[in-house]
Amino acid sequence: MKRTFFLTLLALMAALGAASGEVATEAIPYTHDGSQFEGFLVEPSLLKDGEKRPGVLLVHDWTGLQDYARERAEMLAGLGYVVFAADIYGIGTRPTDPKDCAAEAGKYKADRALYRARLNAALDVLKAQPHCDATMLGAIGYCFGGTGVLELARSGADVEGVVAFHGAIDSPNPADGANIKGKVLVLHGADDPFVLVEDIAAFTGEMRAHQIDWQMVSFGNAVHSFTKKAAGNDNSKGAAYNEKADKRSWIMMKAFFEELFGR
């Protein structure tokens, strides 16, 4: 009798945890090519032994794996996914000054092979998590990370789909579009001064040339970093928060993953 009551209580707690979006978090150290990294794993609380959920890799913006990326990872895990926030820069590299951020991000934009290697190393960590269904993988990224998830797809990674939020969408190696195995969703600020018209043309040309299942949504009155409140609200600076674009883009991402994963 007591045992039955206890098991029923555990089941109820699990159901309530899932319904309320409660999550468990853990720092995960890993290595790649002799360098040390520490990513951030977030997953729904009270998952049963052997229970699997779709996995989503989250790639940070140019500030590295800091609070903003962690917050977004927790939001995503609250939807029921196993999320691993990658650490592209490595332990101890968390720039705050824009010049330092630009310098660090520039290393990877200039060396796409290195960027892809770091992305795939993080994806391997996600795949290895006990509750991650390695046959159902996606990725999202912000700014620098938005560029990253497109590079992950171009690397030929086994991801069902990627979502780029206000990322650079240039196409330095258009032939690499042939490697993309999944669907692509780009969420873009229509007034983003850092994304050139020719970059958009190159990206859309690459997608069309390789018959990728792709979507690109441009949000009016939105500039770069439209999902990040810390960017402020002055569009004239080129990067600013836009509440409508933030909420709408999140809804579109959810619908995209629901289509991919059936949840």
Residue 5's pLDDT band, with cuts at 50, 70 and 90, is very low
Confidence check: pLDDT of 149 > 70: yes
- If we measure between CA atoms, which residue out of 108, 103, 106 comes closest to residue 86? 108
What pLDDT shows up at residue 242?
A: 98
> What average pLDDT does the segment 227-232 reach?
97
What pLDDT shows up at residue 215?
A: 98
Confidence check: pLDDT of 49 > 60: yes
Burial 11-46 (b: 16+ CB within 10 A, else e): eeebeebeeeebbeeeebebebeeeebebbbbbbbe
67-83: pLDDT as tens digits: 999 999 999 999 999 99
Rounded CA-CA distance 253/186 in Å is 10
The ranges assigned to domains in the chain are: 24-219
Residue 263's pLDDT band, with cuts at 50, 70 and 90, is confident
- Residue 144 structure tokens: 């620098």
> What average pLDDT does the segment 7-11 reach?
40
Residues facing residue 216 across a β-bridge: 186
Cβ-Cβ contacts under 8 Å for 20 (sequence gap 6 or more): none
State the CATH class of domain 24-219.
Answer: alpha beta
Sheet architecture: strand order including 183-189 = 23-32, 35-44, 82-85, 53-59, 132-142, 161-165, 183-189, 214-219
Confidence check: pLDDT of 16 > 70: no
What pLDDT shows up at residue 27?
A: 97
- Residue 222 structure tokens: 């939105």
What pLDDT shows up at residue 96?
A: 93
Cβ-Cβ contacts under 8 Å for 56 (sequence gap 6 or more): 76, 81, 82, 83, 84, 126, 137, 138, 139, 140, 257
96-114: pLDDT as tens digits: 999 999 999 999 999 999 9
Residue 227's pLDDT band, with cuts at 50, 70 and 90, is very high
Residue 9's pLDDT band, with cuts at 50, 70 and 90, is very low
- Which helix (H) or strand (E) segment holds residue 23: the answer is strand 23-32
Residue 247's pLDDT band, with cuts at 50, 70 and 90, is very high
- Average pLDDT taken over every residue of the chain: 93
> What average pLDDT does the segment 237-251 reach?
98
Rounded CA-CA distance 101/249 in Å is 25
> What average pLDDT does the segment 27-55 reach?
96
- Residue 53 structure tokens: 């959920």
Q: Identify the DSSP state of 161.
A: E
Query: How large a percentage of the chain has pLDDT more than 70?
Result: 92
- Which helix (H) or strand (E) segment holds residue 39: the answer is strand 35-44
Query: How large a percentage of the chain has pLDDT more than 90?
Result: 91
Confidence check: pLDDT of 192 > 70: yes
